[in-house]
Structure 1
Amino acid sequence: MRVYLPCTLPALAEVLKAGELGPAPLTGYAVTPALIEWYASGDTEELEYVAMTEAARASLRLLAAAGPGVVARRVVIAAEVPEEAVAAGTDPAERGRVEVRKPVPLRKIASVHVDDPAAIPDIEAAIAALPGADAGDEDARFVVDGAEDHELMWYARQEIRDLLA
């Protein structure tokens, strides 16, 4: 099963060093039955894009929690995870959320998706606006949603070292 796991650049460096993403449990996003039911008109590719977008939103929150000093680039790891290691979430607001119950070995990472450096100012603005957006401020929500205007760049697993250099 393809699972999209939110990350940051420092955490990705740790994955490379450790040879796995962990420890479990890990929060991820995937094409779940609830997502399929909610997004009835989408094909598999569209549903995977929705799951990856949800993981990118979660990456934004990881960046906010990391505090200043962390480069404001969202990171999403796409990995192949055995279905028996994945449990669907129960939050109806996050239909694609799953829990990965085992660490994910580096060899199971299919690709990494990362913001272009040009997106950094908008990602920084979105991080700063998160508290207001969470409090219901529509202007702040607009700024946070603006982060999604930036498409994530694709890197193969073999390119992670170069990406981090």
Structure 2
Amino acid sequence: MDKSLLQQQVLDRLAEDLLQVEQAARAAHEAATHEENIAENKYDTLGLEAAYLATGQARRAEAIRQAMADWRNFRPRPYDASQGIQLGALVCLVDSDDKQQQLFLGPHGGSMKLVSGVQLVQVMSSEAPLGKAMLGKREGDEVSIQIAQIRQQFEVLWVH
């Protein structure tokens, strides 16, 4: 699997997200400043609410711009078994039910899922609980995380 292609997919998806957020921010700003939304009394908060929404959308757009800059500057390195899993690794985990999942450890991740060939690849940040737990692990190692009352365990099947 080509990590540079996965990286480009992440950048493309972030660009789409940015476009949507910028459009939402513009619409919220227009609503906040529209003459029909000028408060007539202290209970008339539509314009204020739209202003809060526009501010939140602008912050989200800035966060996406920063994520894009981080991904553009990111250079995934080949896997080095002596260091174990590091940022940029493509990892395949298997759980106790033999269900496999492929993860791409990047500077930002969240809920982004990519397709590489016929494989689904989850983008994950090294700050996520599972991302943190994988750092330094090698093929054959166990990775364990606790989420609420449930302990999840995985085996590192392979790393690229």
TM-score range, shorter chain: under 0.3
- Larger proportion of helix: 1
With normalisation by structure 2, the TM-score equals: 0.24
**TM-score, with normalisation over the residues of structure 1?**
0.24
